[in-house]
Amino acid sequence: MVAAEQENGSSVAMAAGNMNSKAQLVSVKRGEPSLVAPAEPTPTGEHYYLSNLDQNIAVIVQTVYCFKCPPSGRGHEAGAADALRDALSRVLVHYHPLAGRLAISPEMKLAVDCTGEGVVFVEADAACDLADMGDLSTTPDPAALGQLVYSIPGAKNILQMPPITAQVTRFKCGGFSLGLAMNHCMFDGLGAMEFVNSWAEMARGATELTVPPYLDRAAVLRARDPPLISFPHREFEEIPDVSGMAALYGDQDLTYRSFCFGPDRLERVRGLAQSQAQASFTTFEALSGLVWRARTAALGLAPEQQTKLLFAVDARRRLSPPLPRGYFGNGIVLTNALATAGDLLASPVSSAAAMVQDAVRMVTDEYVRSAVDYFEATRARPSLASTLLITTWSRLAFDGADFGWGQPAMSGPVTLPEKEVILFLAHGQERKSINVLLGLPASAMDAFQELMDEI
């Protein structure tokens, strides 16, 4: 079952059978994939450097942007796919590593082989209207939305997948969608947003980019020689599962729900945390603390179970000097908070919020440099065992991607990349609400729902 949480706290449930019906309704027919190469010659025959902050998050992130057919009728009949393909070839001149392929460098790290062969581009047709897709931000349906994004058939690892694929899907109503599958090692959310907005600028006829990409990652984020590890970096710590979570996730299907926190509800959460501690917390700190506690309770973790919270902090302005404007790459670093389930649940929300706040404050220039050096010395990757990873897109203006047809009618992720991930998404025209999207085993989701109803 899938449910969408509405702002008044009520749930709209969608049974698995309805999900399958929706996927069948979409029924996308794809054409043959083609390659879109840069419109002008770009550097080839070299390895493009990926920093140690890029190495740890080489996962595919799928997003969809949906555009209605405008009143003028300038929909897919006017060649939206051709316009997007042409603009893509021109923006790739600036973002040329995206036209290459992932490889392993002589240092045994991920790098980009600058082949210049291009982005995989697919045109498709859906047997339904755009309205039949529902609201992407409140009703997650990976089976249906997955048809709007192209995945390489038979690919067994990321080296067999290009850094980005693009699919333009035409709907019967005249609207269309742009589905992107992008490897996170190429950029973080802000970098991806700047790329998509630059592509949109080209589609609207621009000859220069408002924010040109800064490509030289090696100049600003190389490890120190020798590496200097000055923090414990418990984000990499492997936590034993003493609560039988592997069995729980193995026995039950994942249920996805989206819980909407409007401005009043967010203020209640923040006020609750602040009143308990007589301290000041940001909305992110209070909401993260609340969700961490609620998920821990819903999963029924043993009191002695160590639980870890991970989340990314934008380090661009925390580095000294700051990363250059338009930095093309991951400018985020993972930070962490740890507690036993018993201690977390025996303490108020303010205690969890304070741990989140401490984790945010821990991220300084030295912390980021230490994290870069830690990977250089250990090649370790963050462990997700007994972990909640919160990813926030609430400050990313993906709805600003105007390719010439106005802003997207809706946009959002196709699915969550890992079962341990919770996503914070901006919601509403003024972007003052936050949708909390997560997946849990069915029994745990029912318990989580009850806890959210109390807010």
Q: Would you say residue 99 has pLDDT above 90?
A: yes
- Least confident residue range of 88-102, 199-213, 386-400: 386-400
* pTM of the shown model: 0.91
Active site residues: 184, 402
> How confident is residue 90, by pLDDT bands cut at 50, 70 and 90?
very high
Q: Would you say residue 186 has pLDDT above 90?
A: yes
Could you tell me how many residues make up the chain? 455
Q: Are 85 and 178 in contact (CB under 8 A)?
A: no
For residues 422 and 287, what is the distance between their CA atoms, to the nearest angstrom?
12
Residue 189 identity: G
User: Residue range 199-218: average pLDDT?
Assistant: 96
Q: Are 340 and 305 in contact (CB under 8 A)?
A: yes
- Least confident residue range of 74-88, 156-170, 259-273, 348-362: 74-88
Q: Dump pLDDT digits (tens) for 363-386.
A: 999 999 999 999 999 999 888 989
User: How many CB atoms neighbour CB 43 within 10 A?
Assistant: 12
Residue 11 identity: S
Domains of the chain by residue range: 26-219, 234-394+431-454
Strand partners, 65: 178, 411
Q: What is the dihedral of CA 185, 190, 192, 197, to 10 degrees?
A: -160
- Least confident residue range of 81-95, 300-314, 422-436: 422-436
CATH 3.40.50.300 fits 234-394+431-454, yes or no: no
Domains 26-219 and 234-394+431-454 fall in the same CATH topology: yes
For residues 214 and 58, what is the distance between their CA atoms, to the nearest angstrom?
20
Give the pLDDT of residue 234: 95
User: Residue range 189-215: average pLDDT?
Assistant: 96
Q: Would you say residue 431 has pLDDT above 90?
A: no
For residues 423 and 390, what is the distance between their CA atoms, to the nearest angstrom?
6
For residues 348 and 299, what is the distance between their CA atoms, to the nearest angstrom?
18
Give the pLDDT of residue 417: 85
CATH 3.30.559.10 fits 26-219, yes or no: yes
Q: Are 281 and 267 in contact (CB under 8 A)?
A: no
Residue 151 identity: S
User: Residue range 310-330: average pLDDT?
Assistant: 97
> How confident is residue 20, by pLDDT bands cut at 50, 70 and 90?
low
